[in-house]
Structure 1
Amino acid sequence: MSNKDYLEFIDELTVLAKTNNKINTENYTKYDVKKGLRNSNGTGVLVGLTEIGEVHGYIVDEEEVIPVEGRLTYRGINIQDIVNGFQKEGRHGFEEVCYLLLFGQLPNAEHLAKFRQMMGNYRILPEGFMRDMILKAPSKNIMNKLARSVLACYSYDPNPDDIRIKNVLRQSIELIARFPVFVAYGYQALAHYHKGQSMFIHKPRPELSTAENFLYMIRQTGEYTKTEADLLDLSLVLHAEHGGGNNSAFTTRVVSSTGTDTYSAIAAAVGSLKGPKHGGANLQVMKMMENIKEHVTNWTDEEEVEWYLEKILTREAFDKSGLIYGLGHAVYTLSDPRAVLLKKKAFDLAQEKNRLDEFNLYTTIEKLAPKVFARVKKSKKHLCVNVDFYSGFVYDMLGIPSELCTPLFAISRIAGWCAHRLEELISVKTIMRPAYKSVVTRKEYVPLAERQ
């Protein structure tokens, strides 16, 4: 077969695949199937219990959903209290949050110091890892490189398949510490081999926090301001965990339930987060905002901003999807506490970077978008901006390339994934096996010579 014949055959097979894998939508209603593990009212199907994180955005009273201000808790502690606590003391909080998620309680000063020291030591990659596993196989997608780096750790681990909790903890802390290094070096390989840029490798410094180390490793000079590091640390804290119902945390639990190794489970979670429906939302917000800035001549004119938001919703502008990216959430209704906290610190950096005009445009859209949505869609649904609305702007102000936005999410969320893996191994110990009902009609086997 020629290459043309192969392509034509693939086209033919594609039609077959689409035709023979289409389930009649009426069957989902007939058998009360929870598509996407969602109930008919949009809430998630209850499939487990957790003490790690809780997302709260509404209450249900006599089957009526009543919106409330959003609340996010880590191990029962309100995220706002956690953030206020470490910021008031003038220190970074991501390492403290990692400890809290893994061990279920806040560390005392001695434990926090030892845990930070442990993470600092674990950041140093095994001999030859960077050369052989990262630089020799550069990828155009950092999430792909991250997943491959995680799987490669298996080969460097003297005891990779041991799922006793002590060993899983060691593997978890190593991965949490090394994710920023995998991502930073993966980006250096991408920039050099695929973009023709100079490559510079900074060895991580044990005394620096996760946020400081990441900024140090991705910048040629290794320099950063306190405001920059503080804001990146806050972003990592806010993305570290979001309940067991999100796709990547659930993926971690599903794969962990089989009894497989830590690297396989976490690599699967990375693959989940790589999907644009899960981890790429802030990139869409950034693209949308660039489009708005190009087409709205006066950013302070609310009428003009409303006019363009309406064009986006009616599929006349931007990507014609009819979506205002960064608006709305599966659980939060009146507010997303992560967006509230990130917005406060984003203002400080916008002042430092002389980008208050852009920041004010974001706040204007935050105010107007729910009203425009209600009018255009004739909807009474309560909508608020979510954390993705401001996180892309924060990363842009930090000079972080767009290719690193989703990997940064992973650098943070690895803490939550590892916590969920531990909880699954300790508390559940049963392989997940959901049911799928076959709705295909019975057919007879046809001998090869008689087939059309």
Structure 2
Amino acid sequence: MALKEAVRRKLDEFRPRTTRLAKEYGKVKIDEVTIEQCIGGARDIRCLVTDISYLDPQEGIRFRGKTIPETFAALPKAPGSEYPTVESFWYFLLTGEVPTQAQVDEVLVDWKKRQEVPGYVFDIIRAMPRDSHPMTMLSTGIGAMQRESKFAAYYTSGSFNKLGAWEYVYEDACDIVARIPVLAAFIYNLKYRDDAPLAIDPALDMGANFARMIGQGDEYMDVARMYFILHSDHESGNVSAHATHLVHSALSDPYLSYAAGLNGLAGPLHGRANQEVLDWTLKFQKKYCSNEEPTRELITKALWDTLNSGQVIPGYGHAVLRKTDPRYTSQREFCQKHLPGDPLFKLVSMIFEVAPGVLAEHGKTKNPWPNVDAQSGVIQWHYGVKEWDFYTVLFGVGRALGCMANLTWDRGLGYAIERPKSVTTSMLEKWAAEGGRS
């Protein structure tokens, strides 16, 4: 396949670069570690490498060097749509090159061949209690498919070769990104649509097909395309991407690795935040403006009431960003065009106009600007996907793109098993008293 050969060419170009850096410049210091970083979750310690995406505190995410607007503008669009297909974005993530329409079509055909989820996976999920969280079902389904892993089979074949291993990771990665929307749609239908049968359309791209599989109309197709692309990657330090990378660094196959990433994504401090933000917003709407327009004065008072009661404003603040999350901006622009009169969007929009000033005056938030979760639930709610415990599954479908692209490159460049060095509290206390580690 042309995409696989393009990845091979890129890896051949990168290997000498990483080899030279490690061999000739391995002792060059690029950062320092403080006690605060050691205790505080390794925040901002520069010790991971990825060329898939980069998160700048002021500018936001760049995919392969391009901002979100640049990415949307550059990639081939779905027929009749203003958004790119997920297939074109996948090609771009893997290679850093903007694909031609012919190359996109080849990926689409390839994914159609790969998208069949084994029947035993559906049987396993059906055997679970129906009230299991959908993220538990998704993680279980991905983990169950591990028996299909081409990388695992290659490793146990007796002919394992370090330099050639990436090709089998690539095969698993393509299988996973092709199958995960089908698996996610099955879970949605099982839990919320009385186990409605999947209606896979072999002619549609991934986003459009997903919309069809969960019973949505044409208007939801761009929602799916946009959502999966925006949530695909956020450099390697976030929990889901890092967990996936960490587990695969032990040569666990991509299925086991991404199941671990999904388990991290399910946490309320990570992917599940979108669910909690929408819950808070709906309660906020009912309490403060169920019968009136959300004016600036009304929302300002309500936000101060919220903060003065000891609560936070969900969806605001970010571990890295110090400006409005561009993913929020992209979704806001979608809402302004397609659902400007939606009452919930009006509320979220007014909160966006007021909250940064209130939070800055309050003074306890490093970043008073909204992140991606402040907006994403509103769009799903508007189009009738109101089962908010499913929102993190949607996140997981998109995040598979970035995680699988990263694993392909991790293995292609032969990155080592990840093994940070731990220290004890006594050591930290000693170095604190001495003013540093000598």
TM bucket (normalised to shorter chain) is 0.7 to 0.9
- 1:311-350 to structure 2, matched below 5 A, reads 311-315=305-309, 322-350=311-339
**Contact conserved, 1:326 with 1:386, CA < 8 A, in 2?**
yes
- Does the alignment pair 1:121 with 2:122? no
Residue in 2 that maps onto 1:396: 381
CA distance in 2, matches of 1:431, 1:425: 11
Residue in 2 that maps onto 1:105: 97
CA distance in 1, matches of 2:179, 2:199: 12
CA distance in 2, matches of 1:416, 1:180: 15
TM-superposition CA deviations, 1:108-163 (whole Å, max 9, x none): 2222111011112222223x335423223355111111111111112244663436
CA distance in 1, matches of 2:275, 2:62: 26
Residue in 2 that maps onto 1:207: 203
- Does the alignment pair 1:224 with 2:217? yes
In the TM superposition, residue 379 of structure 1 has moved relative to its aligned partner by 5.4
CA distance in 2, matches of 1:413, 1:45: 23
Which of 260, 275, 291 does residue 283 from structure 1 map onto? 275
Residue in 1 that maps onto 2:143: 151
In the TM superposition, residue 385 of structure 1 has moved relative to its aligned partner by 1.1
CA distance in 1, matches of 2:270, 2:363: 27
Residue in 1 that maps onto 2:66: 77
Gaps of 5+ in 1: 1-28, 59-69, 192-196, 442-452
The change in CA–CA distance for 1:118 and 1:325 in structure 2 (over 3 A counts) is same
The change in CA–CA distance for 1:173 and 1:30 in structure 2 (over 3 A counts) is closer
In the TM superposition, residue 30 of structure 1 has moved relative to its aligned partner by 9.7
- 1:46-445 to structure 2, matched below 5 A, reads 46-58=46-58, 70-85=59-74, 86=76, 90-91=80-81, 92-126=84-118, 128-139=119-130, 140-157=132-149, 160-162=152-154, 164-191=165-192, 198-219=194-215, 223-225=216-218, 227-297=219-289, 298-315=292-309, 322-351=311-340, 355-375=341-361, 377-378=362-363, 381-400=366-385, 401-439=387-425
The change in CA–CA distance for 1:264 and 1:130 in structure 2 (over 3 A counts) is closer
SS of corresponding position for 2:57: strand
CA distance in 2, matches of 1:381, 1:32: 16
The change in CA–CA distance for 1:30 and 1:185 in structure 2 (over 3 A counts) is closer
In the TM superposition, residue 31 of structure 1 has moved relative to its aligned partner by 5.8
TM-superposition CA deviations, 1:200-251 (whole Å, max 9, x none): 11142222122222221122xxx502x3211221111111111111111111
Question: Comparing 326-335 with 383-392, which one deviates more in the overlay?
Answer: 326-335
CA distance in 1, matches of 2:150, 2:400: 22
CA distance in 2, matches of 1:159, 1:49: 22
- Seq. identity, %: 24
CA distance in 1, matches of 2:41, 2:417: 18
CA distance in 2, matches of 1:30, 1:123: 46
SS of corresponding position for 2:349: helix
Residue in 2 that maps onto 1:65: none
CA distance in 1, matches of 2:37, 2:55: 25
In the TM superposition, residue 440 of structure 1 has moved relative to its aligned partner by 7.7
The change in CA–CA distance for 1:158 and 1:167 in structure 2 (over 3 A counts) is closer
In the TM superposition, residue 35 of structure 1 has moved relative to its aligned partner by 2.4
Q: CA RMSD in A?
A: 2.4
CA distance in 1, matches of 2:34, 2:368: 31
How many pairs align?
379
**Contact conserved, 1:176 with 1:414, CA < 8 A, in 2?**
yes
In the TM superposition, residue 75 of structure 1 has moved relative to its aligned partner by 1.1
Question: Comparing 293-302 with 382-391, which one deviates more in the overlay?
Answer: 293-302
Residue in 2 that maps onto 1:34: 38
SS of corresponding position for 2:410: helix
CA distance in 2, matches of 1:385, 1:30: 28
For residue 387 of structure 1, what is the amino acid of its counterpart? V
